[in-house]
Amino acid sequence: MIPRYAPKDVAALFSDENRFDTMLEVEILAAEALAEQGVLPAADVAQLRKRRPLIDAAFVVEVDEREQITNHDTAAFVDIVQAKIGMPEGAWIHYGLTSSDVVDTALCHTLARAMDIVITEATALRDALTDRAVESINLPITGRTHGMHAEPTTYGAKFSLFALQVNRDIERAKRAREAIAVGKLSGAVGTYSNIDPAVEEYVCRALGLEPVPATQVIARDRHAELLYACASLGTSMEQFALEVRLLARSEVGEAEEPFTKGQKGSSAMPHKRNPVLSERLCGLARVLRGYLQAGLEDVALWHERDISHSSVERVVLPDALQLTVYMLRKATGLAEGLVLHPERALENLTVGSLGLVFSQSVLLALVESGMSRDDGYRIVQACARQAIEDRRNFREIVENNESVTLSSDALARAFDAERLLAHRGRFIDALAWRS
């Protein structure tokens, strides 16, 4: 991931230093389990942890240089570790294991830790949206379908629905975290031919992972599920960001991104405050969905394993986790700082819409008065078209239409926005996680 979109805490998890350090921990734990079984000499194994080399940038360089000879990164890693620990004790590193035992288990441990950060940040976004929902539930705004004025809703209803969607994403992320928090140390094709299942149990328990049956590699549908959880979060953030972009348009003006002191909206036109953060979130969501496609392609491998997934995962898994966390933190800031313009929203709802948002209410009032639905529909449709063409208030045209015989009370009820929004509290009631 390019530094621009790489949060330091997540990037550190996917650094070569952390990757090799986690792999080394798997190696030493496996040796300790074998020593408990009496397979390896306990005194020798005790030296492995005592002489555990420091995994730093210099160590990474040594492994890289060794890989130029071995043309196998795990073999190069094992060679360097054994050399630093020394013989004969170092010979017990990687005893009875295959590369995927170490690499897959270490990777799953790292992915589980990264998902913990994702879940934390997604919860922060959900809570920010929840707070905005509560504070703005009584602020009316024009609802739009197909981009056209529909009926009144409220800012709070919008925020609430976004919060509910992110909450569903959190549940998906938790399931993906559970699915990826697994390990395997079962040998070349997963049959435990040279290592006892108890070793797998020991190592996984120490790392907080669940041992699972596998071929030579852990099944990649687990990794695809994780990428789906990230892509789903990205799409939810895109939906929120797209709403911000639409409401921020000059002719709408019902919301705008926070604009900090010294910020510039356009290099050429000083008046502009472009929704650049929202546009960035929409763009990056496309990247996350691309990673999911790559992850799905990795599920089907030849027989007990091939290595076609490896090169893909070195790119898409670190990038997806870093990008998801980056987007979540930016989206939370957007939710917290979004500037609402309820006065403009009310103006658009009442004056800008010409009152057409009440057309269904008038139709229903006509039906209640005894008129057929089709006759009522045609009358209201004609009144609405006249209002649009003449740029006149819809209520005035309805009241002057000879076919409309509604009482003044019935008309007042039909054009009462508060009546239409009487059940807005249900949106807040649905936010079950609120304390």
* 232 contact partners, CB below 8 Å, separation of at least 6: 169, 172
| CB burial of residue 402 (10 Å; 0-12, 13-18, 19+) | exposed
Specify whether the CB–CB gap between 345 and 139 falls below 8 A: yes
The first and second tokens of residue 62, run together, are 């040594």
Annotated catalytic residue, options 15, 72, 94, 146: 146
The first and second tokens of residue 188, run together, are 């070349």
DSSP assignment of 29-57, as one string?
A: HHHHHHHHTTSS-HHHHHHHHHTPPP-SH
Annotated catalytic residue, options 266, 308, 369, 372: 266
Is 223 noted as a catalytic residue in this protein?
Answer: no
Tokens 């929409």 correspond to what residue? 282
Is 266 noted as a catalytic residue in this protein?
Answer: yes
**For residue 140, is the peptide bond before it cis, meaning its omega torsion is within 30 degrees of 0?**
no
Query: What value, to the nearest 5°, has the Cα angle with vertex 228 and ends 25 and 5?
Result: 70
The SS3 assignment for 299 reads: coil
Query: What value, to the nearest 5°, has the Cα angle with vertex 122 and ends 117 and 126?
Result: 150
| CB burial of residue 367 (10 Å; 0-12, 13-18, 19+) | middle
b/e code 386-401 from CB counts within 10 Å (16+ = b)? ebeeeeebbbebbeeb
User: Chain centroid to CA 108: how far?
Assistant: 19
d(CA 348, CA 247): 11
Tokens 């009316």 correspond to what residue? 140
Active-site residue list = 146, 266
